Structure 1
Amino acid sequence: MMTKNKDWQDEVALQRYTMITPLLSEDLDNAKRIAMREKIAQDNLTTARSLYRYKKAYRENGFQGLRPTDRQKRRSQALPENFDELLNEAIQLRREVPERSVEQLILILEMEGRVAPGVLKRSTLERHLYNAGFGSEHLRTYKDARESSSKRFCKPHRMMLIQGDIKYGPLLPIGKRGAKVKTYLSSAIDDHSRFVIASKFYASQEEEVVEDTFRSVLLRAGAFDRCYFDNGSQYVAKQLKLSLAKLGISISHAPVRSGKSKGYDKISIM
């Protein structure tokens, strides 16, 4: 029973970790982070405030901080009743998405267990938001602020980001009775120094190949902050994500059909 409960908690923690991974990058400015948090919340049917709490829990306690408590304990938690705290929560939610109506703000606070249904009135919250300078007309400028240009894609220090990629290798007579087998070169390169930390030919390009490559990285160079992969099946495998998450290593994926963003490995291994 304990194992089953732990598996359920790990599953939820991995889902939360996958959602907040793009938000962990130190390269994001505040406006871009807000816009990204909003999109992730919409895509995953959750709230930006929930993503904020998941990120805070991960920063404080690592992967374990994302594991939910027992369902029974979670239901028994007391709900906050202080209006000033509720107002601050509503202000944060509106700053994230200025288009949110007062009704939506109240619904989110109720869904998140911040206040009991029916306690917070629309007219009361609307009046206090306006007096605090966060009425609907006050925050129209936030929409333009979310549109910002991307920064130069290069980390300032080594072992902050490791790029991984797999390239086709030559046919080698390593099969049964000397049969030629297609090989694949799996490599890992440090984004800052462009140093190839691990690079080896394999007879397949399965998930185990990626795991072996990054095991070599850890043994040779130690822990690092983040991985950068394309969207190949071996790079989005659940076990790989879980293993890296437990080590505190974040994963980013290149945009679909964006070959230029994965050019370092091509240059380094040719």
Structure 2
Amino acid sequence: MNITKDNQWRDGKALERYMLIAPLLEGSLDPAKRLQMREGIASRNGISLRSLYRYEAAFKKEGFSGLKPAERLKQHSAKLPDNFKEILEQAVQLKREVPTRSVNQIIYILELEGWAPVGTLKRSTMQRHLYNAGFGQKQMQMYRDARNSSSKRFCKPHRMMLIQGDIKYGIKLPIGKNGAMVQTYLSSAIDDHSRYVLHSRFYDNQEESIVEDTFHKAILKAGKFDACYFDNGSQYIARQLRFSLSRLGITIRHAPVRSGKSKGYDKIFFM
């Protein structure tokens, strides 16, 4: 593994660890509730309480960089099959079809279908490549945990403790080629306590880049906040957005599925 790949892997592991401990960093939690949440996180993710304590201590001492694994001094990757690119594409497709499929199950199916000889594909190698592609099993579990652990509608007691982000449909404007009508979208970042709009702008698309731009400008205008609250749209679970916010120590929360009441500030603002 070259230096760039190794750094990407270390960043990915740090993000994975941060997403595990993020709910435990809430300052208003009492010790009993924090312990209960810690035990639940450990049980759901198959890790020890000691590991969670270690991750929390490392983050408090060194921030996001403290969660990175130690640099690898030796390269020790096995030779990949010549058709590994095609094998990985098939593995991603299998994961998309059934998100709960384990790496071992995916390897078994690939071997059964003749994509690779039995014993050629290593679990650790396939797991790493699936993670880099955004389909690691722990990544998928984190998405589910984030949805299941989010709270109902509430209001934080102070400004900049929580910022809500959302995208709403705007009007169609003749800004396309030869005056063609184009759908616009309003992306906003709003303070949960004061309802103050940190940044809001119309865009001609609803890709993840508009969310990155919205929160980049919100932070430039108002500074860093403690946490953010999103729905489960693809723009808000994008890896780069989560990576950037977590590096700043900003906790990421997601609204429960089919819980529209917990996300409504942008609707009020737009009206």
TM-score, normalised via structure 1 length:
0.67
Q: Is the 8 A contact 2:6 2:72 kept in 1?
A: no
Aligned to 2:46, the other structure's residue is in SS state coil
Q: Which residue of 1 aligns with 2:25?
A: 24
Q: Which residue of 1 aligns with 2:257?
A: 256
Q: How does 1:1-270 map to 2 (within 5 A)?
A: 1-70=2-71, 153-270=154-271
Aligned to 2:216, the other structure's residue is in SS state helix
Q: Is the 8 A contact 1:166 1:185 kept in 2?
A: yes
For the residues of structure 2 that align with 1:37 and 1:255, how far apart are their CA atoms? 20
For the residues of structure 2 that align with 1:251 and 1:230, how far apart are their CA atoms? 11
Larger displacement relative to structure 2 (39-48 or 171-180): 39-48
For the residues of structure 2 that align with 1:268 and 1:13, how far apart are their CA atoms? 36
Residue 26 of structure 1: how far off its partner (Å): 2.1
Task: Give per-residue Cα distances to partners, 1:125-152, cap 9 Å, x unaligned.
Answer: xxxxxxxxxxxxxxxxxxxxxxxxx798
For the residues of structure 2 that align with 1:214 and 1:70, how far apart are their CA atoms? 31
For the residues of structure 1 that align with 2:153 and 2:167, how far apart are their CA atoms? 24
Change (3 A) 1:203 1:152: closer
Aligned to 2:195, the other structure's residue is in SS state coil
Aligned to 2:209, the other structure's residue is in SS state helix
For the residues of structure 2 that align with 1:66 and 1:153, how far apart are their CA atoms? 30
How high is the sequence identity, in percent, across the aligned residues?
A: 66
Residue 72 of structure 1: how far off its partner (Å): 6.9
Give the CA RMSD over aligned residues. 2.0
Aligned to 1:56, the other structure's residue is in SS state helix
Greater RCO, CA 8 A, separation 6+: 2
Task: Give per-residue Cα distances to partners, 1:175-213, cap 9 Å, x unaligned.
Answer: 111111111110000111110111111111111000010
Aligned to 2:156, the other structure's residue is in SS state coil
For the residues of structure 2 that align with 1:253 and 1:59, how far apart are their CA atoms? 23
Aligned length: 194
Change (3 A) 1:261 1:27: farther
Q: Which residue of 2 aligns with 1:103?
A: none
- Select the structure of larger CA radius of gyration: 1
Q: Is the 8 A contact 1:226 1:250 kept in 2?
A: yes
Q: Is the 8 A contact 2:227 2:252 kept in 1?
A: yes
Residue 48 of structure 1: how far off its partner (Å): 2.8
The answer for unaligned runs of 5 or more in structure 2 is: 75-150
Q: Is the 8 A contact 1:27 1:151 kept in 2?
A: no
Aligned to 2:167, the other structure's residue is in SS state strand
